[in-house]
Amino acid sequence: METSLLFVIMLIGVLGIGSQWLAWKYNLPAIVIMSIAGLIVGPFLGIMNPEASFGNLYNPIISVAVAIILFEGSLNLSFKELRGLGRPIFRIATIGAFIAWILGSLTAHYMAGLSWEVAFVIGGLFIVTGPTVIMPLLRQSKLKPRPAKILKWEGIIVDPIGVLLAVFAFEIITFFTSDAKDGSTLLLFFIAAIFAVFLGWFCGKTIGWMFETGYIPEFLKSPVVVAVVIFCFTLPDEVVHGTGLLSVTAMGMTLANIGISSLNDFRHFKENVSILLISAIFIMLASSLQLETILHIFNPHIIGYVLLMMFAVRPLSIFLSTIGSGLTIQEKSLVGWIAPRGIVALTVSSYFATILKEAGYQDADLLTTLTFGLVFFTVVSHGFSISPLAKKLHLSIEGNPGVIIVGSNPFTVELAKSFRKGERPVLVVDSSWENLRYARNEGVPFYHGEILSEQTEYNLDTIPYDFIIAATNYHSYNSLVCTTFMPEYGRMNVFKVDPNEDENNGDIVARVGGRSLCVEEVSLDELNEKIANGYVFKQTTLTDQFGYEQYKEEKDDEAVFLYFIKPTGQIYFYAVDMRSTPSSGDVIISLTPPSKEIQRQINNKK
């Protein structure tokens, strides 16, 4: 039975998103799961071959998807992030890329046996990493801000540079090997590259102006941006292959740095689309490979080439280019190791394999095998090693999941102290210096600033924190904070505390934003009053002999359940719609009346 195109599309979506879910559930590198899933249903079992199913649409679909992914990644490239990192990022993207090109080309010639012409083309292409592989790794591993920003900027900026280097190398080869030397092709290449940057900048500026002046309605913003991205990519790419990626990168960086207020309105949409596209493309590329290509990877020359690229070319290019840049030896070691190749390398190498073979270079047949070998080995090795290596080099945010509490008051400060007793990162954020006196007096970590401001986004490191609790005196503000951070933290990890019952008119605002903290109907005013009356935070460990049901029967009726901690360190907050219940070994934290605690202490002394 022949597989229908509809079935192929369905399978790509199920396998792609299913792989993402498995990776999230079991804390595995998503790109590894997707690659393995694609190989299983493609060359190993022969269930589908997207390249054959899509036919002439296959390459355009991949190209447009890569353009959208690269644009989405470049939307995160704000120059404000470069404070203190401008020099190393600039050197890696220029000097480091050039060194990697030369060393990679030499390796391809002497180890893989490619001709000089083909070696220099593929050497330029293999300097790319890209957001399709870097972003999933950064989501998986909690790197400290400096190495995370370096890897992100390098991956997005070097992506179009690598493609352009490969195109440039091919144009140089064509120029010097042709009988009638004509410099018009080289001139066209440079003009097209300059035009691509200008077009990207112009499109970014135009979209930003139209957004700010109201020329585009809210419901059309995301569709308009997608359409412009495709236009911005296609127009220069039709002139010179590869310049389209440069154009969409320039467009994204322009939008990221002109300071338009509505940027976040479509940024989350782009992130969702990007995840869908990355998932689909990895499945499509892996399942379209031929079994002969995969088996050829185990050729000693191919393996030797891959190992030299991973253990010699990449570390040398990073260490040499960052001399005197201010990076520590640990940061250089991590960045020098992490360089997975991804979608751009696979798609562009197939393009060059075709045109080089047509130009008479028979060794171009090896390009697909070399590329997949490098992609697969780097994705697997870097995907599984980034977290352990970061911890070994002390470049990861280790420890238990942390909590950001918005609003400084007696209850939130005592709540923060309970987290600190459990050795969990906690931070109290408030824009009022007067309110922060509660946190200052108790020695609780705090941040003075507006949590929703753009300045806070760049000054406050949120990587150590997995939960956010909005507990200020304003219903609407709590809901706004929760709504803003819900896409980043997830609905299950965003909570709010109702200030008081009188302000909740018709329960309208209470339905917006995050989940209400506590199962009991208790307001922030009541919680602060309990603190004033001497209520204490109490920890109770459940055992096989003293279970949850018995604990609930014996607890004080005035006690308020707040959260419980699993032996693994995972934290669960009490909420009306909570799905987990404590079990043996869990530690329950509750706000308990003082009388019963004092009585228990007296009984213990007896």
Confidence at residue 179, expressed as pLDDT on a 0 to 100 scale? 62
Give the single-character DSSP code of 606.
Answer: -
Confidence at residue 600, expressed as pLDDT on a 0 to 100 scale? 58
Q: Indicate the range of 27-36, 60-69, 223-232, 551-560 predicted with least confidence.
A: 27-36
Confidence at residue 602, expressed as pLDDT on a 0 to 100 scale? 44
Give the mean pLDDT of 428-455: 88
Q: Tell me the DSSP string of 354-400.
A: HHHHHTT-GGGGHHHHHHHHHHHHHHHHHHHHHHHHHHHTT-B--SS
Distances (CA, A) of 244 to 191, 233, 278, 282: 13, 4, 18, 21
Confidence at residue 273, expressed as pLDDT on a 0 to 100 scale? 79
* Domain ranges (residues) in the chain: 58-392, 402-605
Q: Indicate the range of 88-97, 214-223, 326-335 predicted with least confidence.
A: 214-223
Give the mean pLDDT of 513-519: 79
**Across 26-40, 152-166, 259-273, 471-485, which has the greatest mean pLDDT?**
471-485
Copy the structure tokens of residue 196. Answer: 């691509």
Phi and psi at residue 466, to the nearest 5°: -110, -15
Report the C-alpha gap between 13 and 364 in whole angstroms.
32
Specify the CATH architecture of the domain 58-392.
Up-down Bundle (1.20)
Give the mean pLDDT of 549-569: 86
Report the C-alpha gap between 277 and 282 in whole angstroms.
8
The label of the residue with tokens 């979506």 reads 13
Phi and psi at residue 341, to the nearest 5°: -95, 150
Same fold across 58-392 and 402-605: no
Confidence at residue 100, expressed as pLDDT on a 0 to 100 scale? 93
Of the candidates 253, 204, 192, the one whose C-alpha atom is nearest the C-alpha of residue 70 is 253
Tell whether the model's pLDDT for residue 80 goes beyond 50: yes
Question: What does the pLDDT look like over 451-494, one tens digit per residue?
Answer: 887 667 666 777 778 899 999 988 888 888 888 888 778 788 89
How much is the mean pLDDT over the chain? 83
Confidence at residue 421, expressed as pLDDT on a 0 to 100 scale? 87
Question: What does the pLDDT look like over 238-266, one tens digit per residue?
Answer: 888 778 888 988 998 898 888 776 666 56
Report the predicted TM-score, pTM, of the whole model to 2 decimal places: 0.70
Domain 402-605 part of CATH 3.40.50.720 = yes
